[in-house]
């Protein structure tokens, strides 16, 4: 009989043998206890902050990671002025010319949902039931809305108590990287390549890689661990750009405005209304791109519309740019005396361009999945990641699964077995 019995977690958890892989059946995984400790540290970033990192509380976890890396005996352990924690585990192999591989995960969580006083709960031996969250009984995690739960029979599901998010995004990745390092340090008989690690702030607000010095953090290629479920290898993402259209009108007192007033707010409204509905993000999915107005600010005299453009193909992005420009000019032309100004800024590019020049990055991950008996899925991201920005800067960096589900919500969850499998994946990637 399915049960909703759960175990509130404060400090420790004794793991069962993993149900996903058996590559390290005798290894006492520490990933779950690390994860449970990390999620209880509030690390929300702040999109409205001008500092870097955007919140000082992110450093509370960074200091913990810094000390744990020192305790493991890693080299070049640093916590820099921008809140990046980096370290190196040198190769223990005599084989020459091995690549240096970097692993990255971000410590910040979304500011959209409460992240203070996270109380993680383990629901052991899941048997297909609806999971109820004790602090918010109206919130449930059901197989109907979470079909991946149907593949989790016998797994141990981790949630919050329903009053906060869990923090699986991306403390799953942080905990898995730390546990993989722990495994390699305590198993020196396993030959591995040189490993660089980086735990960074502010990914959730798009600034995660802004201050990382790649001249200091040198690697041949890298992987971010910031993806859902198990078996995912994300190698593509949107090409991204921002456009700002400023409409200039002519203001007069409305009591004397006849044949004089040119209201820039009305021009902006005409422009927004003219954007094709079929190109809106709420109408797009899979590999379809979109044009998305983000913000409108102004008055009768001057109004600025900010938009983002997204498409997997460069040609698609160029088409959207021409279309937006044409529609803006058409709207302005209907109001004699108005003027407009258009700015266009590239934000990031599809990382596939970089990864295609370094096929070994993809092949190494595929081979690791194969060794674990996991069928990988090559996929794309309808957005961007820290790995996208690194790839655009010359460090090829696809994104891998680490067990996240329902991210940025109070129904966020992961599983013990997915966390353990992520550790196995990390170890396989590093093996010589």
Give catalytic residues, as residue numbers.
Answer: 108, 203
Contact 127/113 with Cβ under 8 angstroms? no
CA nearest neighbour of 81 among 50, 59, 110, 61: 59
Q: How far apart are CA 46 and CA 201, in angstroms?
A: 11
Contact 107/177 with Cβ under 8 angstroms? no
Contact 411/241 with Cβ under 8 angstroms? no
Q: How far apart are CA 131 and CA 128, in angstroms?
A: 9
Intra-chain end-to-end CA distance of the chain, in Å? 46
Q: Helices 359-371 and 416-430 sit at what angle, rounded to 10 degrees?
A: 130
CA nearest neighbour of 292 among 162, 382, 167: 382
Could you give phi then psi for residue 370, rounded to 5 degrees? -60, -40
Q: How far apart are CA 151 and CA 159, in angstroms?
A: 17
Contact 426/176 with Cβ under 8 angstroms? yes
25 CB contacts (<8 Å, ≥6 apart)?
Answer: 17, 18
Q: How far apart are CA 412 and CA 402, in angstroms?
A: 13
């Amino acid at each position: 009989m399915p049960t909703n019995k759960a175990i509130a977690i404060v400090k420790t958890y004794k793991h069962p043998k993993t149900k996903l892989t058996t590559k390290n059946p005798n290894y006492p995984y520490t990933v779950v206890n690390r994860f449970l400790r990390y999620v209880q540290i509030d690390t929300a970033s702040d999109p409205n902050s001008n500092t870097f990192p955007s919140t000082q509380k992110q450093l509370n976890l960074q200091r913990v990671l810094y000390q744990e890396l020192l305790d493991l005996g890693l080299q070049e352990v640093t916590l820099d002025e921008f809140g990046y924690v980096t370290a190196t585990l040198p190769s223990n192999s005599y084989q020459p010319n091995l690549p240096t591989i970097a692993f990255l995960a971000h410590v910040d969580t979304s500011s959209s949902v409460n992240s203070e006083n996270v109380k993680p709960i383990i629901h052991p031996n899941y048997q297909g039931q609806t999971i109820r969250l004790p602090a918010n009984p109206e919130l449930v995690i059901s197989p109907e809305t979470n079909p991946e739960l149907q593949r989790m029979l016998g797994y141990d599901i981790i949630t919050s108590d329903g009053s906060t998010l869990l923090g699986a995004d991306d403390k799953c990745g942080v905990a898995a990287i730390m546990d993989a390092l722990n495994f390699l340090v305590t198993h020196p008989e396993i030959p591995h390549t040189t490993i660089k690690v980086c735990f960074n702030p502010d990914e959730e607000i798009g600034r995660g890689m802004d201050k990382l010095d790649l001249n200091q953090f040198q690697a041949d290629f890298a992987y971010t661990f910031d993806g859902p479920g198990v078996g995912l290898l994300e190698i593509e993402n949107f090409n991204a750009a921002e456009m700002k259209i400023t409409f200039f009108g002519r203001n007069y007192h409305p009591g004397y405005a006849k044949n004089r007033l040119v209201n820039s707010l009305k021009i902006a409204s005409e422009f927004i209304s003219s954007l094709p509905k079929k190109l809106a993000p709420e109408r797009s999915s899979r590999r379809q791109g979109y044009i998305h107005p983000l913000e409108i600010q102004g008055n009768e005299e001057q109004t600025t519309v900010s938009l983002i453009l997204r498409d997997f193909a460069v040609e698609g992005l160029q088409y959207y740019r021409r279309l937006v420009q044409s529609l803006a000019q058409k709207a302005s032309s209907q109001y004699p005396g108005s003027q407009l100004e258009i700015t266009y800024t590239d934000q990031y590019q599809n990382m596939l361009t970089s990864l295609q020049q370094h096929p070994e990055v993809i092949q190494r991950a595929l081979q690791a999945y194969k060794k674990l008996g996991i069928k990988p899925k090559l996929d794309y991201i309808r957005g961007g990641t820290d790995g996208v920005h690194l790839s655009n800067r010359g460090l090829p960096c696809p994104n891998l699964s680490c067990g996240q589900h329902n991210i940025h919500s109070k129904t966020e969850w992961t599983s013990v077995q997915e966390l353990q499998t992520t550790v196995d994946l990390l170890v396989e990637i590093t093996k010589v």
